Chain A
C-alpha cells in the first residue's frame, strides 16, 4: 500500500509539469490580455504594464522564470488585484472553501449513502422509489436553482436563516452546505444503490444469508464494503472538485472562497492567478484520486492482494 502511494506521488511530478505547461500555453493563447479594458488603454500604459509583469519577454523565458518561481512555492503577483500575490489570494480563499467542502460532503454522504443503501435493500418497492426519486430531483435541481429557491423560502419568506454570508451570522453556513451537498448526494445515492445491488446479488452474500447472519450485519459489515466502491471512485474527484471551490454557490451566498477567484481569474485573464489556481487544483486532484484509490483497495480485499502483488 505505501509503496503504491509513493509510486503514485512520484508519478505526480510529470503530471504536474504537463498540467503547468499545458495551462501556460492555453492561458497565453487565449484572446484578450489581462490589461485590455472597456475604455481604450493607451499603448504606453500597456507597454509599462507588460514590462512590469515580464510579459514583454519571449514566451519561453517567461515560462522558465515562472517554473523557477513555482518550484520555490511562489505563484507570483496577481495581475488584476494590484498589490496582492497569488499565494495570498489562494490562502485567503482556502478556509471558507475547505469548510464548505467538508460540510457539503458530509451532507452528501449522509443523505446519499443512507438513501442508496435503503433503496438497495428492498429494490422495486416504495423504499426504493421514494429515496431514488428524491435523488433524481436532487440532480434536476442544479445549485443555481436550489440555492436561490432555498434563500427565497428560508431566508426571505420564513426568515429562519440569513440569506447570505459565511461566518458572519449564526446559521449562515447551513443553506450553502445543503445547496452544494444535494447535487453530490443525488449522485452518491444512485451510485451506492447500484453498487449495493451488485454486491447483494453475489455469492458470498447469499452464503452469508444462508448461514443465517442477521440482515443488518450482512449489509453493514459485508455488503457495504464492496457496494460502496463506485462511490469511493466518485468521491476522489468530487472532493477535489469541492475544494476547488464552487463558483455558483459562493456567488449566491456571498462566500469568500476559491471558486469565485478561479472563475474571475479566467474571465480577467489574470495569468498568474489562473496558473496558481490550476496547480493548486491539480495537486488536490492527484492527492484525492490517490486517496480514493487507496480507499478502494482497502475496501476490496482482492484489490488489496493485487496491490501487494504488483508493487
Chain B
C-alpha cells in the first residue's frame, strides 16, 4: 500500500514538475507575445537592429573613408556633400559616426555582457548562500571598489600592451561591482519571501528555486541596470581611449566624438550634436526595449 502510495506521490510530483517545466518554457513564449504587443519596445528593438546592421555594413556603405582628410576644407556645417558636416580635419562626420558606432556598440554590448555575467553570478551566489561566503565575496567587492582605477589601467596598458580585449576587461572589471551589489540585495530580499519559502517547503531543490523563482524575479532590476550600464560603458570607453588604452586615432567611437565635440561646442556645434543624438537615440531604444523586456518577463504580471 505504502509503496503504491509513494509511487503515486512520485508520479504526481513528476507531473507537477512537468507542468511547471511547461510553465517555464511558456514564460519565455509568454514574454515574447507580450513584447510583440509593446510597440515602444518593438520600436526600440527596430532601432537597435538598424544601428547594428548599419555598423556591420559600414565599410561598404560609408560615403567616405574615415581617415580621409581635407585640411583646407576644415570644419564645415552640414551640406549636400557632407550631410552631417565635417570635423576640423575636413573628415566626413557621417562616416566617422558610422565607424564610431562599430566600436561603441561592440564595446557597449560585450563589456556590459562581461559585467552582467560576473555581477549577476557573484551577487546571486553571495545573496543566496549568505553567511560567511557572502561576507567574503562582498568584501572582495569592497576591495575592488577601492583600488585606484587609473593606476590599474596604466598598469594593464603596460603589462599587456594595447589591445581592444583589454578594454573589455578593464571596463568589465569595474562595472560588475555595482551589479553584484544590486543583485545580491535583491536575492536576499527574495530569499525570505513567501513564495520562495513555500517552494522550500515543497521540497524543491536549491537549483530549481534559483532557476524558477530567484532568477526571474531579479531580472527586472538587472535589466534596468543593464540598460544603464551600456551608456556608461560607452562613455568609459572614451575616457580609456583618451588615456591610451583602447582605440587609437584616426579610429573613433561615439564617446570620443562627443568628447571632442564638447571642446568646440560653441564653434562647431554639429560636431557635438550629431554624435550626441546618435548616442541618445541608441540609449532610448535600449531603454524602451529594456522596459518592455522587464514587463514581459515579470512573472507576476504574467498571471494577470
Chains A and B share a contact (CB less than 8 Å):
yes
Hey, which bits of chain A sit against chain B, CB under 8 A?
Answer: 7, 11, 14-15, 18-19, 22-23, 26-27, 29-31, 123-124, 129, 132-133, 136-137, 139-140, 142, 144-145, 148-149, 152, 186-187, 190-191, 193-195, 197-198, 201-203, 226, 229-230, 232-234, 236-237, 240, 262-263, 266-267, 274, 277-278, 281-282, 285-286, 289, 293, 296, 300, 302-303, 305-306, 310
Q: A-contacting residues of B (Cβ < 8 Å)?
A: 40, 130-131, 135, 138-139, 142-143, 145-148, 150-152, 154-155, 158, 177-178, 181-182, 184-186, 188-189, 192-194, 217, 220-221, 223-225, 227-228, 231-232, 235, 258-259, 262, 265-266, 272, 276, 279-280, 283-284, 287, 291, 294-295, 298, 300-301
Interface of A, secondary structure class, is helix
Q: Are B224 and A152 in contact (CB under 8 A)?
A: no
Q: Are A303 and B188 in contact (CB under 8 A)?
A: yes
Query: What are the 8 tightest A-B residue pairs by CB atom distance, in nearest-first order?
Result: A282-B146, A302-B192, A233-B185, A266-B150, A194-B224, A201-B300, A140-B280, A19-B146
Q: Is B139 a contact of A139 with CB atoms below 8 Å?
A: no
Contacting pair B143 A140 (CB below 8 A): no
Given A191-B225, A194-B221, A11 contacting B139 (CB threshold 8 A): yes
**Taking A229-B185, A310-B130 as contacts, is the C-beta distance between A26 and B155 under 8 angstroms?**
yes
Complex contact B145–A194 (CB within 8 A): no
Roughly how many angstroms separate A201 CA and B224 CA in the complex, as a whole number? 17
Please determine whether B142 and A234 come into contact, CB atoms closer than 8 angstroms: no
Contacts A136-B287, A194-B221, A198-B221 known; A306 to B192 CB distance under 8 Å?
yes
Which residue of B158, B177, B262 is within 8 Å of A148 (Cβ)? B262
Q: Across the interface, do A27 and B151 meet the contact criterion of CB distance under 8 Å?
A: yes
Contacts A31-B158, A229-B186, A305-B192; A19 near B220 (Cβ below 8 A): no
Residue of B nearest to A275 (CB): B148
Cross-chain contact A233 with B142 (CB below 8 angstroms): no
- 25 interchain pairs (CB within 8 A)? A15-B139, A23-B147, A29-B155, A124-B295, A136-B287, A140-B280, A148-B265, A149-B265, A152-B266, A191-B182, A194-B224, A202-B300, A229-B185, A229-B189, A230-B182, A232-B185, A233-B181, A233-B184, A234-B182, A237-B177, A263-B150, A282-B142, A300-B189, A302-B192, A303-B188
Residues of B within 8 A of A303 (CB): 188-189, 192
Q: Are B287 and A132 in touch, CB under 8 angstroms? A: yes
> For the complex, what is the distance from the CA of A289 to the CA of B146, rounded to whole Å?
12
Contacts of B189 in A (CB 8 A): 226, 229, 296, 300, 302-303
Minimum C-beta distance from A228 to chain B (A): 11
Contact yes or no, B185 A136, CB < 8 A: no
A107 to chain B, nearest CB (A): 18
Question: A302 — which chain B residues lie within 8 A by C-beta?
Answer: 189, 192-193
Are A310 and B131 CB-contacts (below 8 A) given A15-B142, A190-B224? yes
User: How many Å from the CB of B115 to the closest CB on chain A?
Assistant: 14
CA distance A54 to B273 in the complex (A): 52
Contact among B184, B221, B231, B262 for A191, CB-based, below 8 A: B221
Q: B186 to A144, Cβ gap below 8 A?
A: no
**Does A145 lie within 8 Å of B276, measured CB to CB?**
yes
Q: What's the Cα separation between A14 and B138 when bound, in Å?
A: 13
Cα A197 to Cα B177 in complex, Å, equals 24
User: In the complex, what distance in Å separates the CA atom of A226 from the CA atom of B185?
Assistant: 11
- Are B262 and A144 in contact, with the CB atoms below 8 A? yes
Q: In the complex, are the beta carbons of B148 and A26 less than 8 A apart?
A: yes
Q: Which residue of A lies closest to B280 (CB)?
A: A140
Closest chain-A Cβ to B110's Cβ sits at a distance in Å of 20
Closest residue of chain B to A240 (Cβ to Cβ) is B145
Q: Is the CB of B185 within 8 A of A286?
A: no
Contact for A230 among B151, B221, B262, CB less than 8 A: B221
How many Å from the CB of B280 to the closest CB on chain A? 5
Given contacts A22-B143, A139-B228, A230-B182, contact A194 B280 (CB under 8 A): no
| Docked-complex contact A230 and B186, CB < 8 angstroms | yes
A93 to B266, CA, bound (A): 32
A194-B220 contact, Cβ under 8 Å, with A229-B186, A230-B186, A274-B151: yes
Contact A139/B185 with A132-B287, A278-B146, A302-B193 known, Cβ cut-off 8 Å = no
A274, B228: Cβ atoms closer than 8 Å = no
* Cross-chain contact of A31 among B139, B154, B232, B265 (Cβ < 8 A): B154
A residues in contact with B266, CB < 8 Å: 152
The answer on a CB contact under 8 Å between B145 and A237 is yes
| Distance between A280 CB and nearest chain B CB, rounded to angstroms | 10
* Residues from chain A with Cβ under 8 Å of B138 in the complex: 289
Given contacts A233-B185, A286-B142, A302-B189, contact A26 B151 (CB under 8 A): yes
The answer to whether A19 and B151 touch (CB under 8 A), given A30-B158, A136-B283, is no
Q: Which residues of B contact A198 (CB under 8 A)?
A: 217, 220-221, 298
Closest Cβ of chain B to A251, distance in Å, is: 12
Which B residues touch A236, using CB under 8 A?
181
Name the contact of B152 in the complex, choosing from A7, A26, A281 (C-beta under 8 A): A26
The answer to whether A140 touches B142 (Cβ under 8 A) is no
